[in-house]
A and B are shown apart, each in its own frame.
Chain A
Amino acid sequence: MTWRSPLALVRDALRGQRARENELRSLESNLPYEGLEKGKQPNRYFTSNAIKTTKYSLLFFIPMNLYEQFHRLANLYFVGLVILNFIPQVNAFQPEIALIPICVILSLTAMKDAWEDFRRYQSDRKLNNMPCFIYSRKEKQFVERCWKDVRVGDFVKVVCNEIIPADLLLLYTSDPNGVCHIETANLDGETNLKQRTAVSGVCNTHPKFEPESFKGIVVCEKPNNNLNHFKGYVEKPDKQKVGAGIESLLLRGCTVRNTDHAVGFVVYAGHETKSMLNNSGPRYKRSKLERRLNIDVFFCVILLFTMCLIGALGHYLWLNAMPVVPPYLVPPTSGQLDSPSLASFYMFFTMIILLQILIPISLYVSIELVKISQIFFITNDIDLYDEETDSRIQCKALNITEDLGQIEYIFSDKTGTLTENKMVFRRCSIMGTEYPHKENDGKLFQKISRTSSSSLSHSQKTDAYLDFFLALAICNTVVVSMATSQRRRVSAQNAGSIFKFCKRKPKRNRTFTEDSEEHFQPSGQTEGVRTTGLQPCSLHPPSLSDKPALTSDNLRYEAESPDEAALVYAAKAYGFTLLSRTPDSVSVKLPSGEVLDFEVLDTLTFDSNRKRMSVLVRHPITKEYVLYTKGADFAIMELLGTPYAGMLRLDGNKKNIATVTQRHLDCYAKEGLRTLCIAKKVVSEAVYKRWSVDRKKAMAAIEDRERLVMDTAVQLETNLTLLGATGIEDRLQENVPDTIQALREAGIKVWVLTGDKPETAVNIGYACGLLEDEDLVINMAAVFQITCTNILDCTLEEVRRYNADPRNVDTTLNMSLVIDGLTLDKALSPDLLDRFVALVKHCRSVLCCRVTPLQKSRVVKVIREKLKVMTLAAGDGANDVNMIQAADIGIGISGQEGMQAVMASDFAISRFKHLKKLLLVHGHWCYTRLANMIIYFFYKNVAYVNLLFWYQFFCGFSATAMIDYWLMIFFNLFFTSLPPIMFGIMDKDISAEMLLGVPELYKTGQGEGDYRFTTFWVSILDAFYQSLVCFFVPYLVYQDSDIDMFTFGTPLNTSALFIILLHLSIEIKSWTVVHWIIMLGSVALYFIVTLAYSAVCVTCNPPSNPYWILQSQMEDPMFYLICILSTVVALLPRMYIHLQIYYYGKATISRTGVNQH
């Protein structure tokens, strides 16, 4: 490093700053500068690929961590107290000692932070040292380096199944079409493959790729976190610009699939990559209990201030009553006593210091510990483990475990949540004829083979059957991958640790392999049909001779939605095998063995407004422009033009195919099948030409592009010819009815919000027990606001009449509501909202059909806000994300549909049935444990602090503590801290079997639950009572005696320990070895530490004098008699009430238990 003038350094730094902040960046290749010093590198201003996610550095850990921690109000409070203690007028203890609690809490938190940071450091290091290939000019080849060595401007080669180290502009792939597939599961959780295309013409690629030939400049935008957007171009030396979008960008963290290797130019590295910019921390949700808790902390503050005011006032009166200065009143150094009012003003603050532990600061630390342990137990529950996918439950939100115990409403998605979302092709209706797939008849096959052979021989004539299956095979966005390039999970752990927002790699690939193929394998006789009825393949050698390995057996289809994959497999089962798909062409192998290469002219992708998708292809034989459309039945039916004229003639049947098909569709829906309609349209060349101009214009539009593109799609999708319809079965997940039954018994209302049609939803509703035969099902499907109003009014009136009827005192109206999206919109309008909410309060279950993601979240929000209830939303797809985020608890089901739902969720489970144990057992436990622990904590602090408070009445309100300050700190820190934490982690008020067997027990947590206003104040009052007993029993015994201060404090402290621990023992419902060890250990620790301290501390802690006091007390029988008496008197009322509740509770449990069986 040569010496450079500071001015030059500053100038360089400024230039770097400007380069980084610039809206556009110009990047050059590093290769010409290889080996030069840093100052000469063209891209030196941009961050390197080494990442650092650690918050702290080794050197500045302490100041930075302290800064972080002082953001917490509680810590500031404590520090304020310490500062108060350093003011001589108000200090209660030696200033140094007052530092101890805050130091302990700060250092505990710091240790936790340091550990977490160290873990981040380790994962950073692991990532930074991952291998990758960078082109080196010197060696004329790609050499292996680490990720951290990658710089902007480098050429990096990635090979199949490898994770991409930085954001690369794709320049070359091994694929002749310049295509590279990536899997973005690490970024957005979607497991389907995405295509990326290389920027062509900027490098020599023949015969091999030469990075050195790259002479252009890459201009790109400033880094941003939008994963689906990238703007940039490559400016060649001849000033020609080649545009590049997101379709040419390989994102860091993605995995290369199905592509042997690819080379890219590094545009963003390290922290500027899109994945790192997306890497935001975990979300913070506040639980209901915590909100309640904060109110109670506020009450504690009021209580503290009241007590301090009493102390100050008492001190004032005490001083005023003094006729002259008594010998024990020490004047300050000046020799002049403060006036009583000033002295009592100071005393107020001294009292705050003395009674500070009334605000349970350690409570927050303890709650965090308890929640972490609760999450440990939840994630380790073997019942919530799914063998099939090898996945545990994931807890993403760490601080709302207790909310699981208070749920009143569950909003569930249907597909993938209640059902498997493993689509099985069941039936189809082609040209008005219904064919069940299950008992697969040769009929359909024969028809296909006949038509397909005929269509080949007379290629002019197309046939509906052929078209139907061709549409199934073509009209989709399925990606074909070969079994040979099997996906291997490459260092999944590494990847998981960087991309924090994706904690777990999705284990379930949506690749339909052997087992799923079984569903589609036409049974028995089809083999015969195939061999006899079809021409042997050898006569028609595959046209794709350059891919010899491509046989239909090792094909896998990867689809964004499982329906698509199911349809493609179904088509394959009938001989229409989708062989490959590139952006421009689709090749399909016909049953005859012939391979047809369709030129794909355009794909009109699916959107939720149109609810359909289309593919415009050019038939290789007829050269016709054909549009195949697939979509929701209502979306297709309204676009139908003239019926299929030829078909009608053929069958000699005048019936309207559309009506017949509609009837079939209704049948399918009643069976709970998912229905899709398939249609086609032949587009004349002229129309196509005209349309494609519009289309191109729309695609090129900058403003309002989405709308324009959609409009062009709508333009073309008219006058469709119905080919047929399909029915796909989506089986219910196991134990769904059972789970729903249990949840309902637990007082939880289950709603289903689905995008499916009402018939399907109602069917599933009956299947999973949401609707029952004797239920009154109200079907709300109103087109007009006024009808909607009428229905609501009538139903509410009926409910009122029913409830008013004296015969129905014990029963409630079993009413369920089925409502569709359109009606829901009206019902949620401001003037009907209240009536709607009033109605649904009476409904046992509500099914909302055909709702959009936004409506889903709207419903959740309305119920949550209007009824003030705890809500839980469960879903698996991207359309559930809104709802999941709107609810108090979002449950993601890691299923077939990507990971967005899981990403957005607070808890991710793999099966719906897991909800039962999660809520009924873990929810109940977490809630009662935490609620009881918090109440106990308040009690504990108040009870202990009040001992000091009562003493103030006997020491002239001078803030004297009769307990050694160290022992006071130890008391809170060691002797009585572990038992409540253990109580919060391990207490089991009711066994898991009982909770699962008697779901009604869950109701204890709902609404106000265990932790309510009264419980808090009852325990505070109990604390006052117990502290009174604990103080006044020794007081009355030692009144007028020669007892000294610290000897007086010892039985107080000891009996306080026993009272506080035994109080907890009354609350503990079941004792395990751990309980015994911790409880007895705490008592033992108290005696050991106090004895040791009393033996060692001769002059260590003036003015206190603990020396040999416990020892001498323990020789005195009075000590034991006092401890026993105050413990028994203090706990007698609670014990008695507890016994009564125990008997009462036992009675209720056994009564409900009897009712159950």
Chain B
Amino acid sequence: MFRVSVLQTTDVIPSKEKSRCGRVGGVSRSEKMVKQESESANRPDNTAFTQQRLPAWQPILSAGIVIPGFVLIGLAFIGIGVALLVTSRSIQVLELDYTGDGNGSPCSSCSQSTTVNCKCSLNFTLDTLFQGPVFFYYGLSNYFQNYRRYGASKDDNQLYGDLSYFTSPSSSCSPYDYDGSKNPIVPCGSIANSMFNDTFTLTRTVSGKTDSVPLDGKGIAWWTDYNVKYRNPSVTPLKNAFNGTVKPIDWAKPAYELDTSDASNNGFVNQDFLVWMRRAALPNFRKLYRRIDASGDYQNGLPAGNYTIDITYNYPVRVFNGAKKVVFSNVSWMGGKNEFLGIAYLVIGSLCVVMSVVMLIVYAKFKFPDEE
């Protein structure tokens, strides 16, 4: 793209070149103006940003600010620490191991045998009221639900109720994706397969009379798991959705028969299943089993008395040096019992106060130079 302007070869005079392609110059005056302008064309912009002179705030760490600051933080921490400790102290926890390690322990016979649904029972006595609401947990030790391959061994799409993943589970479930005869396993994967299958009932003996304590299994799982993340396929009856699939190898019953008492509590939205599927962060953990239904005698929690937990002992833990326990606990605004946080706040708060005192002494002695 250029114009062809014809010039005589012999008479190229400097004035002609002004009219040439790309550089059509004006009269000399305008040229001069341009020149003057361009004389400082390279001058950098004199702005606060380019000259690095943006208004800046320098934190003034004078002793007059720092020492009171430390005292304030320290006092606040001590306050929080006290509150936490008081709250934590008010929480009651009752833990009962039923692994059956020792010979004297009630479940030792069950832990030795491989009988299905072996029964044993634990007795405990409450001297005072166990303040409600009371939560009933089962706890496992030395159980690594956070093992990487274990955690990956599930199929989220299948659990979301996608029927196409019923017939062909994700390979992440392997080797728990198909059984020996190539039937797809639903729910597939190691997590589902290893679901905790001990069951508990709680009875109270009041003056010789046994009274079964009402347990509530609704809403023990995360609301989001129950409503969003896990879904049963929209097939009625639910059993039909599982046609052509087999139950996980270690399960006694297929997924659609997990809860015989409540038809809606079956399939992937079974509360116990959901609780199990949410993997514990640490190898020693507890999982919510039931809540004590706050009704009748148990309005305010578990009243004093003798209690028996009847356990259907299925889950083997002794083989990998694990332990099982049941835990009763009530909760506060800070969740379960935890002394550590309160103590830590107290210690750090006190440390801050001590540090400020030390700094004050140093200050009084040497007078920091920034205050002239």
Contact = CB atoms under 8 A, between A and B. Distances in A.
The size class of the interface chain B forms with chain A is: 35 or more
Given A328-B150, A332-B175, A382-B44, A208 B280 contact: no
Nearest to B176: A330
B58 A1070 contact: yes
A960 B10 contact: no
Contacts of B56: 988, 1070-1072
B344 interface: yes
B190 A328 contact: yes
A491 B34 CA distance: 13
A1103 B157 CA distance: 11
A144 interface: yes
Among A141, A330, A1099, find the residue whose CB has the most chain B CB atoms closer than 10 A: A330
A1108 B225 CA distance: 10
Interface stretch (B123-131, B302-310, B318-326): B318-326
Contact of A144 (B3, B54, B55): B3
Interface string A319-344: 00111111111111111000000000
Interface string A942-958: 00000000000011101
B147 A329 contact: yes
B286 A1042 contact: yes
Given A958-B149, A1143-B370, A144 B61 contact: no
Given A323-B320, A491-B23, A1099 B148 contact: no
Interface in A1000-1047: 1033, 1035-1045, 1047
Nearest to A1074: B54
Contacts, number: 292
Contact of A324 (B174, B320, B345): B320
A467 interface: no
Contacts of B156: 1099, 1102-1103
A326 B250 CA distance: 13
B364 interface: no
Nearest to A333: B174
Contacts of B33: none
Interface in A1063-1117: 1069-1074, 1098-1099, 1102-1103, 1105, 1107-1108, 1112, 1116-1117
Interface in B242-282: 250, 278-282
B58 A1071 contact: yes
Given A130-B22, A1069-B58, A1122-B341, A956 B147 contact: yes
A958 B283 contact: no
B214 interface: no
B330 to A, nearest CB: 14
A53 interface: no
B45 A392 contact: no
Contacts of B333: 1117
Given A131-B21, A208-B10, A260-B14, A1041 B336 contact: yes
Contacts of A1103: 151-154, 156, 172
A133 interface: yes
B234 interface: no
A1079 to B, nearest CB: 12
Contact of B14 (A159, A208, A350): A159
Interface in A131-177: 131, 133, 135, 139, 141-146, 157, 159-162
Nearest to B48: A1072
B229 interface: yes
Contact of B137 (A325, A1042, A1117): A1042
Among B50, B56, B84, B222, find the residue whose CB has the most chain A CB atoms closer than 10 A: B56
Contacts of B160: 1098-1099
Contact of B150 (A329, A992, A1074): A329
Interface in A946-982: 954-956, 958-960, 962
Contacts of A379: 44
Given A381-B51, A1041-B335, A1103-B151, A141 B6 contact: yes
A1048 interface: yes
B320 A326 contact: yes
A298 B155 CA distance: 41
Contacts of A1112: 222, 224
B291 to A, nearest CB: 13
A1132 interface: yes
B347 to A, nearest CB: 9
Contacts of B45: 380
Nearest to A956: B144
Interface stretch (A383-391, A423-431, A676-684, A884-892): A383-391
A849 interface: no
The size class of the interface chain A forms with chain B is: 35 or more
A1038 B285 CA distance: 9
A1128 interface: yes
Contact of B279 (A333, A1044, A1139): A1044
A1116 B331 CA distance: 13
Given A390-B39, A1139-B66, A986 B52 contact: yes
A1044 B278 contact: yes
A1129 interface: yes
B348 interface: yes
B246 to A, nearest CB: 17
A1098 B222 CA distance: 13
B84 A382 contact: no
Contacts of A1043: 280-282, 285
Contact of A1121 (B4, B8, B46, B341): B341
Nearest to A1142: B61
Given A1072-B56, A1098-B229, A129 B2 contact: yes
Interface in B164-178: 170-172, 174-176
B215 interface: no
B281 A1047 contact: yes
Nearest to A1100: B156
A321 B243 CA distance: 41
A458 to B, nearest CB: 46
B122 interface: no
A1103 B172 CA distance: 9
Interface string A370-406: 0000001101111001010011100000000000000
Contacts of A324: 319-320
A76 interface: no
B12 interface: yes
A930 to B, nearest CB: 15
A133 B194 contact: no
Nearest to A263: B9
Nearest to A334: B175
Interface string B35-49: 000111111111000
B148 A1129 contact: no
Contacts of A92: 148
Contacts of B63: 1143
B211 interface: no
Interface string B215-246: 00000001010001100000000000000000
Contact of B54 (A350, A1044, A1072): A1072
B5 interface: yes
B55 A159 contact: no
A1040 B50 contact: no
23 contacts: A130-B22, A139-B6, A161-B14, A330-B175, A330-B190, A379-B44, A390-B38, A390-B42, A960-B146, A986-B52, A992-B52, A1033-B344, A1043-B282, A1044-B279, A1044-B281, A1045-B145, A1073-B55, A1112-B224, A1121-B80, A1132-B351, A1139-B359, A1143-B369, A1147-B368
Given A1070-B56, A1142-B61, 5 more contacts: A131-B22, A329-B149, A332-B175, A1036-B341, A1103-B153
Q: Which 3 A-B pairs have the closest CB atoms?
A: A1048-B281, A326-B320, A327-B194
Interface of B: 1-10, 12-14, 17, 20-23, 38-46, 50-52, 54-59, 61, 63, 66, 73, 77, 80, 84, 137, 139, 143-157, 160, 170-172, 174-176, 190, 193-194, 222, 224, 228-229, 250, 278-288, 319-322, 333-336, 338, 340-341, 344-345, 348, 351-352, 355, 359, 368-370
